[in-house]
């Protein structure tokens, strides 16, 4: 699959999303804030969530202006959440680049995230669609709830896979779902199509996060821009580590790591055990199941290029390496 092909149906409007984000950066008169915005918004990225919003808009009355506002809002919301995540995790790099908190300190980074949240709310309000504004609010609450669940359960090895699915459903999948559902709502798509696109986005977001968690054990550190086992170092249990906990409930290096957070030996042992078992393959099987559910949700939709692009995104999510 050519990754570039997934952008074709909405390429021009996705470029308009980039121009909207550029305008936010350039309009800011406070030079330090402008510098911060340029750093966090100018790093590129696949823009999957804005892409999904625009593609979903093809299943109805496609009106570029409100869809661009929604897509840019979603990207700002996503980026703001990452900035806050990096502060919470004390991360110094993301995707191989310095984080905002590493460059500008934690306090400034928190305010930067707040600024982008406010801009995201302003953009979504410009869609002039009350239901989409309410969707934005519900999604933000779900994301914060998922993040709180993760942070408050850090270093707690008594978690299970059900609570993990609930956590990533809020933290990650909710924004994927809002992207595709919101685009369909703005286009005035039939209710059953809106529901189908919500199901697509939710399941795709679940697959995306599980692959992300797999890559934390198997990815290339240079491509990922972070050390292998970063989640465990932060006290976060993901699907691969939960499967390891299930298989070795008594003698498990994760328990020792969480009890003695300074011991890198236990981290290395946990990573080794995951990498030298079929846990990663089992985790990929779960991710594939969610991706297949996402594609199955598209079946009621008309056979147009946007539907094929959404299916290709699911393939990309499973194949990505960073």
Where do the structural domains in the chain lie, given as residue ranges? 3-319
pLDDT at 251: 80
pLDDT digits (tens, 9 = 90+) for 173-184: 999 999 999 999
pLDDT digits (tens, 9 = 90+) for 186-241: 999 999 999 999 999 999 999 999 999 999 999 888 777 788 999 999 999 999 99
Q: How far apart are CA 112 and CA 115, in angstroms?
A: 5
Q: What percent of the chain has pLDDT over 90?
A: 77
Confidence tier at 262 by pLDDT (50, 70, 90): low
pLDDT at 1: 55
Task: Residue 136: name the closest of 104, 168, 183, 94 by CA.
Answer: 183
Average pLDDT in the chain: 93
Q: How far apart are CA 309 and CA 299, in angstroms?
A: 13
For residues 65-71, average pLDDT? 98
For residues 17-35, average pLDDT? 88
User: What is the signed CA dihedral for 230, 231, 235, 237, rounded to 10 degrees?
Assistant: -150
How does DSSP classify residue 278? S
User: What are the CB-based long-range contacts (under 8 Å, 24+) for 215-222?
Assistant: 215/320, 215/321, 215/322, 216/240, 217/271, 217/274, 217/275, 217/280, 218/275, 218/280, 219/321, 219/322, 220/321, 220/322, 222/96
For residues 270-274, average pLDDT? 95
Phi-psi region of 95 (alpha: psi -120 to 50; beta: other; left: phi over 0): left
Task: Residue 167: name the closest of 238, 76, 217 by CA.
Answer: 238
Strand, helix or coil for residue 94: strand
Single pTM value for the model = 0.95
Q: Is the pLDDT of residue 263 over 80?
A: no
Higher pLDDT, 26 or 108: 108
Q: Is the pLDDT of residue 3 over 80?
A: no
Q: Is the pLDDT of residue 43 over 80?
A: no
Q: How far apart are CA 221 and CA 85, in angstroms?
A: 19
Q: How far apart are CA 24 and CA 47, in angstroms?
A: 17
Fold of 3-319: Farnesyl Diphosphate Synthase (1.10.600)
Q: What share of the chain is helix, strand, coil (3-state, %, to 5)?
A: 75, 0, 25
pLDDT digits (tens, 9 = 90+) for 289-318: 999 999 999 999 999 999 999 999 999 999
Q: In degrees, to the nearest 5, what angle opens at C-alpha 82 toward C-alphas 76 and 86?
A: 145
Q: How far apart are CA 83 and CA 151, in angstroms?
A: 15
Higher pLDDT, 262 or 285: 285
Tokens 């504004």 label which residue? 133
Q: What per-residue string of b and e applies to 103-134 under the rule 16 or more CB within 10 Å gives b?
A: ebeeebbbebbebbbebbbebbebbebeebbe
Please say whether the dihedral angle defined by the alpha carbons of residues 40, 44, 48 and 49, taken in this order, is positive or negative. Answer: positive
């Amino acid at each position: 699959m050519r990754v570039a092909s997934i952008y074709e149906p909405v390429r021009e409007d996705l470029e308009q999303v980039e121009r909207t984000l550029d305008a936010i950066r350039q309009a800011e008169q406070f030079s330090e804030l402008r510098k911060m915005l340029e750093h966090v918004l100018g790093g590129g990225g696949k823009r999957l969530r804005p892409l999904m919003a625009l593609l979903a808009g093809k299943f109805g009355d496609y009106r570029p202006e409100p869809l661009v506002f929604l897509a840019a809002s979603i990207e700002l919301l996503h980026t703001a959440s990452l900035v806050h995540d990096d502060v919470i995790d004390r991360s110094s790099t993301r995707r191989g680049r310095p984080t905002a908190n590493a460059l500008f300190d934690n306090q400034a980074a928190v305010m930067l995230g707040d600024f982008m949240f406010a801009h995201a709310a302003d953009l979504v309000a410009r869609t002039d669609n009350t239901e989409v504004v309410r969707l934005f609010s519900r999604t933000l609450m779900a994301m914060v709830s998922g993040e709180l669940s993760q942070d408050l359960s850090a270093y707690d090895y008594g978690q299970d896979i059900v609570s993990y699915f609930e956590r990533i459903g809020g933290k990650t999948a909710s924004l994927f779902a809002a992207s595709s559902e919101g685009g369909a709502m703005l286009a005035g798509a039939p209710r059953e199509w809106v529901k189908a696109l919500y199901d697509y986005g939710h399941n795709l977001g679940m697959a995306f996060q599980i692959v992300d968690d797999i890559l934390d054990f198997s990815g290339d550190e240079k491509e990922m821009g972070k050390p292998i086992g970063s989640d465990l170092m932060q006290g976060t249990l993901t699907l691969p580590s939960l499967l390891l906990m299930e298989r070795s409930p008594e003698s498990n290096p994760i328990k020792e790591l969480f009890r003695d957070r300074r011991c890198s030996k236990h981290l290395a042992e946990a990573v080794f055990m995951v990498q030298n078992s079929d846990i990663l393959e089992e985790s990929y099987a779960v991710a594939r199941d969610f991706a297949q559910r996402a594609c199955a949700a598209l079946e009621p939709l008309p056979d147009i290029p946007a539907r094929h692009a959404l299916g290709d995104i699911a393939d990309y999510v499973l194949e990505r390496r960073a």
